[in-house]
Chain A
């Protein structure tokens, strides 16, 4: 068996053999789907009370994915635990003694965790979409409508990218505490505040989460961005790559 395949199997064993994997991913799915369903049900009942402007730019797909703001935090937690957990427990020394080829180690870990998160992210996205549309009733859209499938697939990709971004940053920070302390408030509060405040709005829309969100929108006016869904996704991919490359440089340079 080639070396890389063996390292991939080893990383898979590592991921499936700790409890944090199950509970972070299960939380990401249930929180996103549950909260989205709640918001959809609420929106459907209150739709007539929305302003004309809000009704015109209403995005049924985006709404059925509105729980992801909270659900993504569990995805971030997964990314942090998978990487920074190696450092906080000391496992990293066993890992690197077993696989001293650090680039292979990082790529294998990112690939295995990324694939798992993609599967869970897609399941989350499709579940949230179908349940949400069912609850929206006459305001709902069909998966066959223009841009809808792209938005739903995009939702799964968004979840994956946010977890990979957290992994990259965790390779840089190496401490779960530090990674949580930076990532959680940032994606839960700071990014949203910067995106709402008039003065910072035009910069904040290039932050990873804000840019990535455009891929889940079908009605462009609902977000009002100077770039389209694919450009938004590309911006988020760029952020994720930057985080992973930074993590790779730190892993290559520093003592374990």
Chain B
């Protein structure tokens, strides 16, 4: 169990993490979601005692990280930035960590085998690919057989095979009753692995909810209508009290009517339709809407978005 209470980190007058309060519960995968620059990595570094909070604190099983004796036996972490000396062999890297934390030597071979690095145990990580480096980081996290595991953007830069492997590993670790806390900026990634979601934006807590609730609340269905006469179609819809949302290319999103009803109405008023298709908004879109106001670095959109929402929210990303 990890508990954050009013956790805050300021750099000068910039607040990177703003009074975060939430708990990470055991036995499930908790996704830690937020746009780039939302403060995920800073939060995770504070959880590990690497960065000092400006105020508030983090407790791991009721203790501060630096009060843990042999912390690697409680909590293992894969951080986003590499944390390995390129000139020290994979085996020796794990050995020095095992020695300081009273981990038996046979665990080193076990974790190297588990992550598939047995063959390169005596090699220096300088020559490792991104995926191999990530695997070594995971081996280090698993070394002390900890009950809590933390992964910061574990799939970043991995090939599909590596991504698949990490997803299954996280699920497997949670099924063994471990606490898994994993950060990502991709909703689609989280929806595949996480049972619980913690969403932050600009360092603030935006949501702390189960994945099932998040999906139920946020999956929006609508009908996409494309017509050469958008003005007339809008008036037709307005006559029954429906206000369509325009997409960037002029297509309309209509909520609250079935495709059949819309088609019949269009036929009645003799409006030509080019497209009439039922759509389901992606979770990615729901996530973007949730964090829209808190995205650190916006790309400039081409032209205004007619619906007045954040431009990125109207885009389809899969």
Bound form: Cα–Cα A96–B72 in Å: 11
Option from A7, A17, A102 in Cβ contact (under 8 Å) with B88: A17
A99 touches B88 (CB 8 A): no
Least CB distance, B95 to chain A, in whole angstroms: 5
With a cutoff of 8 Å between Cβ atoms, the chain A residues found around residue B69 in the complex are 3
Least CB distance, B105 to chain A, in whole angstroms: 11
Q: How many residues of A contact B (CB 8 A)?
A: 31
Identify the closest chain A residue to B71 (Cβ): A100
Least CB distance, B56 to chain A, in whole angstroms: 15
Least CB distance, A107 to chain B, in whole angstroms: 13
With a cutoff of 8 Å between Cβ atoms, the chain B residues found around residue A96 in the complex are 48-50
A98 touches B100 (CB 8 A): yes
Segment at the interface with A among B22-30, B79-87, B237-245: B79-87
- A196 near B: Cβ within 8 Å? no
A7 touches B85 (CB 8 A): no
With A89-B85, A93-B79 already in contact, the answer to whether A10 and B52 are too (CB < 8 A) is: no
A97 touches B72 (CB 8 A): yes
- B21 near A: Cβ within 8 Å? no
- A6 near B: Cβ within 8 Å? yes
- B168 near A: Cβ within 8 Å? no
With A94-B140, A97-B72 already in contact, the answer to whether A89 and B86 are too (CB < 8 A) is: yes
A256 touches B51 (CB 8 A): yes
List the 4 shortest-distance A-B pairs measured between CB atoms, nearest first. Answer: A10-B100, A17-B92, A100-B66, A255-B51
- B97 near A: Cβ within 8 Å? yes
With a cutoff of 8 Å between Cβ atoms, the chain B residues found around residue A1 in the complex are 102
| Seed contacts A9-B99, A101-B66; 7 additional CB < 8 Å A-B pairs | A89-B82, A90-B82, A97-B49, A97-B50, A98-B101, A99-B100, A255-B51
Bound form: Cα–Cα A255–B79 in Å: 15
Q: Which of B52, B77, B84, B85 has the most CB of A within 10 A?
A: B85
- B89 near A: Cβ within 8 Å? yes
In the complex, chain A residues 1-47 whose Cβ is within 8 Å of any chain B Cβ: 1, 3, 6-7, 9-11, 13-14, 17-20
Q: Mostly helix, strand, loop or mixed at chain A's interface?
A: helix
- B216 near A: Cβ within 8 Å? no
B84 touches A94 (CB 8 A): yes
As a 0/1 sequence over residues 212 to 253 of chain B, the CB contacts with chain A under 8 angstroms (1 = contact) are: 000000000000000000000000000000000000000000
Q: How many residues of B contact A (CB 8 A)?
A: 33
A6 touches B102 (CB 8 A): yes
Q: Which of A9, A98, A255 has the most CB of B within 10 A?
A: A98
B87 touches A90 (CB 8 A): no
Least CB distance, A93 to chain B, in whole angstroms: 4
Q: Which of A19, A96, A97, A100 has the most CB of B within 10 A?
A: A97
Identify the closest chain A residue to B52 (Cβ): A255
Bound form: Cα–Cα A13–B81 in Å: 23
As a 0/1 sequence over residues 32 to 74 of chain B, the CB contacts with chain A under 8 angstroms (1 = contact) are: 0000000000000100111110000000000001101101100
With a cutoff of 8 Å between Cβ atoms, the chain B residues found around residue A101 in the complex are 66
- B299 near A: Cβ within 8 Å? no
Option from A10, A90, A92 in Cβ contact (under 8 Å) with B96: A10
With a cutoff of 8 Å between Cβ atoms, the chain B residues found around residue A71 in the complex are none
Least CB distance, B113 to chain A, in whole angstroms: 20
Least CB distance, B212 to chain A, in whole angstroms: 33
A13 touches B83 (CB 8 A): no
- A193 near B: Cβ within 8 Å? no
- A176 near B: Cβ within 8 Å? no
With a cutoff of 8 Å between Cβ atoms, the chain B residues found around residue A89 in the complex are 82, 84-87
Option from A3, A91, A255 in Cβ contact (under 8 Å) with B50: A255
Least CB distance, B108 to chain A, in whole angstroms: 11
With A10-B100, A14-B96 already in contact, the answer to whether A100 and B68 are too (CB < 8 A) is: yes
As a 0/1 sequence over residues 131 to 167 of chain B, the CB contacts with chain A under 8 angstroms (1 = contact) are: 0000000001000000000000000000000000000
